[in-house]
């Protein structure tokens, strides 16, 4: 499977971002959580920036508010990715416009559902 970065990942197992980390792992992906306030998530080393992830991700799945994401888009573009998955609560017209300006292939979806899980099952 591919390499996935989860921006806004949390160690709180009830959060959607943590459930996404677990769902990607269960599907066999290599997962790199990104959150400057966490050390580890689900036993994975947590990076403080996507720029510190050691490999180019196939998917970047985002779990931060639009105003925060706008500040992160330049780093996401610099790191590169195959697809940018924008989960509920991360999207705004400005985010979509800026992602397009950076040449990022953005898709609005729920990562957990896209992987074939119900959030309640994780």
Write down the domain spans for the chain: 3-121
Q: Is the pLDDT of residue 27 over 90?
A: yes
- Which residues make Cβ contacts (< 8 Å) with residue 117, sequence separation at least 6? 19, 23, 26
The string of pLDDT tens digits covering residues 54-106 is 999 999 999 999 999 999 999 999 999 999 999 999 999 999 999 999 999 99
90 beta partners:
none
The token pair at 53 is 């992830």
Question: Average pLDDT of the chain?
Answer: 97
Query: What average pLDDT score do residues 107-118 get?
Result: 97
Under the banding of pLDDT at 50, 70 and 90, the label for residue 16 is very high
Q: What is the CATH number of domain 3-121?
A: 3.40.50.720
Dihedral pair phi/psi, residue 33, rounded to 5°: -75, 145
């Amino acid at each position: 499977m591919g390499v996935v970065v989860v921006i806004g990942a949390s160690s709180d197992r009830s959060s959607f971002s943590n459930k996404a980390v677990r769902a990607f792992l269960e599907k066999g992906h290599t997962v790199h959580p990104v959150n400057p306030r966490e050390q580890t998530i689900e036993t994975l080393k947590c990076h403080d920036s996507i720029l510190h992830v050691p490999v180019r991700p196939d998917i970047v799945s985002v779990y931060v508010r639009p105003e925060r994401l706008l500040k992160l888009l330049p780093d996401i573009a610099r790191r590169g990715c195959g697809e940018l998955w924008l989960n509920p609560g991360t999207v705004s017209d400005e985010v979509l416009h800026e992602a397009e300006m950076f040449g990022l292939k953005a898709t609005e979806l729920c990562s957990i559902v896209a992987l074939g899980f119900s959030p309640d099952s994780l």
